[in-house]
Amino acid sequence: MRVALLTEGGYPYAQGELVAWCERLVRALPWHDFEVRALSRGRAQARGPRRPLPPQVRLVRTAPLWGPPPGGRPSRPAARGFAEAFEELTAGLSGEAGAAGGVADRFARGLYALADLAAGHGGLARWLASDASIAVLEAACRRPGAPRAAVGASVADLLTVAERLERALRPLSLDWYAERPADPGLGTVDVCHAVGGGPAALPGLLARHFHGTPLLVTEFRVRLREHHLAALAGAVGHAVPPSAARAPVRALLAAFQLGLARAVYAAAALITPGDARAGRWQRRCGADPARQRPVWPGVPAGELAAVAERTAPSPHPLLVTAGPVDERADADGRLRAMARVRAAEPAARLLVLGGPPPEPGAVPGVRWCPPGAVAHRAAPDAAARAAGWAAGTLAVLADASDGFPTALVEAMCCGRAVVAVGGGSTAEVLGEAGVLVEPGDPAALADACLALLRDPARRARLGAAARARATTRFSVEHGIATVDACYAELAGPAAARPLPRRARGRAGARPSQAAGRRPDALASAEERS
């Protein structure tokens, strides 16, 4: 099977979002041919080192989302078409439904119309950076239903929005969609897999639009949610730099993010949210629950379990937690709970994995693991963390976030009985394989820890159940198997699926389930855009 992996600011670059996850995915599926199409976010990333690529990566294409607008000036007829299509897209931003359909439909129609014009005439990026696009944006701010904050947008605000939209929409102007001598184009792949729902998904949207190629979208971070959280941080008085976006800019960009999310979720054949929170946000933006297949980021369960098997347990009662721990505020109550545990069991100790050490003697009975063993680091740091979990008598976790609780799953993979604070994803991941206590109750946390310290049989049962649950549900291996099943599900009916009318008879149109691997001449081919 041929899979186009679409990334933004990630793989195959050495640093970026979800680089390690994408690399594990590609290396774990050698029976597929991958082509990587990557959007870079900055000059340093584009020029920086890349990950070594396995032989199953047959093609790499890159394109920047930075720098001056590429391409030449559009012709007058093309410019008029761009204005009409951009006006349709901005009607979706303003909330004006009109007689022709809802705002989501208008946004999508404008988006695809811009793509059609860019494919036939070029010059979209230059047009989006022109005064004509500013005029369309200004008119959108005055339409009925426009975001209230956008009504007072200044010329500077509109220039900022136009610049950011031009960069976000650059994938519409790429030459990735039609067949070329060194690039067969996205019309010949079996599945487009976008790792992210922002600009990374745009090539997948256009491959579906032009050729009927099925689209799979994996999201661990929902862009619209992050945009709203950043705006909220400024609204509640957090430190915001003077260069931060003004309210009209945030409002228009939030409307764009919502319109793009709706278009992506409507077009995607399958959607794989990275956690329960991402799944909820996707559904709020119109994602069909029947097309969602949860894929947690996961941890390398086999590697962690192997380290745990080689690690000798501590000779004294050892509670292990993940840093950082604030010894002054102690907002989650772990240190107050530890004081209660030590009052009942003076031999007990607390090992903190990661985080800065406190001042000497600040917290009696607490010692800090070397700061190099920090979550989200590759081996040997991950191995050091696994050794820390395995050396402990039980794990104590207090993760207030609603994302993927990596430290919790690491401890479970190492076979530790877990006492966890909080709900959300923590409760979903832990299930019945551990003890969950309510936040803000150090006494309950201490009592749960003491009960497990004094009951070795129950501790062993919970540890075994935690390892089994983490390995079968929340490991990287399980997530990769889920994605592979999605590939098979999407490519299976491809031969029977009719091509869109616009794709029939045009160069680079997607063949019906073309058999075999790509010609050897394309192996390891690479072309920079």
All residues at 6 or more sequence positions from 437 whose CB lies less than 8 Å from its CB, including other chains:
419, 420, 421, 444, 445, 448
Distance in angstroms (rounded) separating the CA atoms of residues 8 and 2: 20
DSSP 397: E
**CA proximity to 60, closest of 46, 70, 71:** 46
CB 14 within 8 A of CB 40: no
Give the residue ranges of DSSP H helices in 95-192: 103-121, 124-128, 131-141, 155-168
pLDDT band at 364 (very low <50, low <70, confident <90, very high): low
Higher pLDDT, 497 or 217: 217
As a whole number, the mean pLDDT across the chain is: 82
**CA proximity to 213, closest of 222, 195, 201:** 201
Residue 8, beta-bridge partner list: 39
All residues at 6 or more sequence positions from 409 whose CB lies less than 8 Å from its CB, including other chains:
298, 299, 429, 470, 474
- Is the pLDDT reported for residue 40 higher than 90? yes
Distance in angstroms (rounded) separating the CA atoms of residues 414 and 246: 47
Share of the chain above pLDDT 70, in %: 81
Distance in angstroms (rounded) separating the CA atoms of residues 219 and 226: 12
**pLDDT tens-digit map of 58-113:** 999 999 999 999 988 899 999 999 999 999 999 888 765 444 447 778 999 999 99
CB 34 within 8 A of CB 42: no
Lowest mean pLDDT among 161-165, 267-271, 272-276: 272-276
Residue 219, beta-bridge partner list: 273
**pLDDT tens-digit map of 112-144:** 999 999 999 989 999 999 999 999 999 999 888
**CA proximity to 311, closest of 373, 238, 386, 236:** 386
CB 203 within 8 A of CB 491: no
Distance in angstroms (rounded) separating the CA atoms of residues 304 and 355: 20
**What are the CA-CA distances from residue 495 to residues 5, 491, 506, 511 (Å)?**
21, 8, 18, 8
Q: What type of residue is 327?
A: E
% helix / strand / coil in the chain, to the nearest 5? Answer: 50, 15, 40
pLDDT recorded at residue 366: 55
pLDDT band at 335 (very low <50, low <70, confident <90, very high): confident
CB 147 within 8 A of CB 259: no
All residues at 6 or more sequence positions from 238 whose CB lies less than 8 Å from its CB, including other chains:
none
Residue 36, beta-bridge partner list: 5, 60
Helix (H) or strand (E) holding 448: helix 442-453
Average the pLDDT over 465-477 and give the result: 91
- Is the pLDDT reported for residue 184 higher than 50? yes
DSSP 147: -
**CA proximity to 367, closest of 300, 321, 422:** 321
Q: Give the rounded distance of the alpha carbon of 169 from its chain centre.
A: 19
Neighbours of 376 (CB within 10 A): 12
Q: Please name the residue that has the structure tokens 């009927």.
A: 212
Between strands 394-398 and 418-421, the pairing is parallel
CB 124 within 8 A of CB 71: yes
DSSP 180: B
Q: What type of residue is 200?
A: A
- Is the pLDDT reported for residue 321 higher than 50? yes
pLDDT recorded at residue 136: 95
- Is the pLDDT reported for residue 507 higher than 80? no
Q: Please name the residue that has the structure tokens 């616009």.
A: 502
pLDDT recorded at residue 328: 61
What is the CB-side half-sphere exposure of residue 404 using CA atoms within 13 A? 25
- Is the pLDDT reported for residue 314 higher than 50? yes
**pLDDT tens-digit map of 390-440:** 999 999 988 766 667 888 999 999 999 999 987 778 888 898 999 999 888
Distance in angstroms (rounded) separating the CA atoms of residues 287 and 270: 10
